[in-house]
Amino acid sequence: MPDERSAGPAAPGHAPWRARCAARWSHQAWQPRPGLASRALQPLAWLYRGLAILHRVWWRSIRRPARLPVPVLVVGNLVAGGAGKTPVVIALVQALRAAGWTPGVVARGYGRGAGAAVVVATAASSANDIGDEPLLIRRRTAAPLAVGAQRAEAARQLLARHPEIDVIVSDDGLQHHALAHDAAVVVFDDRGVGNGLVLPAGPLREPLPGELPPHWLVVYSGRRGASTPLPGVHAPPSAERVLELGAWWQGATVAAGMPLAALAGRPLLALAGIGDPSKFFATLDGAGLRYTALPMPDHARYKRLPWPAGTTDVVTTEKDAVKLPPPHLDGARVWVVPLDSALPAQFVQALLQRLAPRRPRRPDPTPPPARLPAP
């Protein structure tokens, strides 16, 4: 059941059991220093770290990673759970296009129903076909997109279908060593690296490096700026406007929405099925909204509407909106809060410099002038 309050997320006791387990792990993992439970899990963390090292060595020394005919940009994070990566992927696709590139996107497609098979997205693709985050990226950018457990094969099929693509953006592929990449954008939020331990004792998928690798660029997506010692840019996403769900599905721009504060006074239910629902609830708090919080597990599937019958107004994230087709809302008005990240110009320029050496040369579309016959 949701938890009614003027601000803040639902109490843990009201969340589904999976969310309660995740909350308990999260409390330990995101503490500044390891607690007793994290220390008890350290032997498993050492095993996880050892296997990760073997996996990386296998792909770098024995099995060579696939090298595509176009440059590859990986966008990922070092921690498990959401760190604000999807708005950064959208901003990067938009920045590349503005700089004259033709980007395509590949992703694993977590939570989709097609398993490991490669699927090239079409206008009719659903979240069940390609996953909620890839569908969100596709809807916001209109970039060609493919999903598959094997990112290299997904990229090959995408390039075959869209030969105009001259750069691949790999969503969440930092630990996917089977696909070689030319640059990486690593995203951190205000939580940084938590207790500094790797899974399952902490939130890290791999240890934080002592210094920034030369092909890495770091984006801090939280409100407070840098949350690790690594140098990077501060690019927190803005969430200042809201769109009606039908208009959002029809492709309305963020600028066409109304201020988020315009929802004040409505009996709102706030639905958030993302990695850290508290971020969404904090956004609503900042706009002065009163709401009933309904946190859901990350990538939750909505086979039926998650809110109680009789709910009049629902405010939710874009990641949830892609799984809520407008015709089947049981009379509720659903409002979507888009996230927009603005990347500094110097950051985009540094990224382009890393990708430019492998940019494929396009044939000159202008035919050479006809030669006049010799007199």
Token pair, residue 79, equals 């921690």
The predicted pLDDT at position 369 comes to 46
- pLDDT at 370 > cutoff 60: no
pLDDT band, very low/low/confident/very high, at 191 (cuts 50, 70, 90): very high
- What pLDDT shows up at residue 262? 96
Q: Could you report the per-residue pLDDT of 237-258, keeping only the tens digit for each?
A: 999 999 999 999 999 998 899 9
pLDDT at 62 over 80: no
Segment 53-73 mean pLDDT: 85
38 to 24, 195, 199, 205: CA distances (angstroms): 11, 9, 9, 15
pLDDT at 31: 85
State residue 368's pLDDT score: 46
pLDDT tier for residue 311 given thresholds of 50, 70 and 90? very high
Kindly indicate the confidence band of residue 20, based on its pLDDT and cuts at 50, 70 and 90: low
Alpha helices in the chain (DSSP H): 17-29, 36-40, 42-57, 85-98, 127-130, 132-141, 151-161, 245-249, 277-286, 318-321, 345-355
**Percent share of the chain, pLDDT over 70:** 89
Residue 85 · residue 298 · CB < 8 Å = no
Instruction: Go through the domains of the chain in sequence order and give each one's CATH number.
Output: 3-15+239-337 (no CATH), 42-236+341-358 (3.40.50.300)
pLDDT tens digits for range 112-151: 876 778 999 999 999 999 999 999 999 999 999 999 999 9
pLDDT score for 3: 47
On the question of pLDDT at 68 being above 50, the answer is yes
CA distance 190 to 169: 24
Distance CA 108, CA 106 (A): 7
How confident is the model at residue 28, as a pLDDT?
Answer: 73
Rounded CA separation 115/213 (Å): 33
Is a pLDDT exceeding 70 seen at residue 88?
A: yes
The pLDDT value given to residue 16:
54
Distance CA 360, CA 168 (A): 12
Position with higher pLDDT, 96 vs 112: 96
**pLDDT score of 22:** 58
Mean pLDDT of the chain: 87
Measured distance CA(108)–CA(154) in Å, rounded: 9
pLDDT score for 21: 55
**CA atoms in the 13 A half-sphere facing the CB of 100:** 8
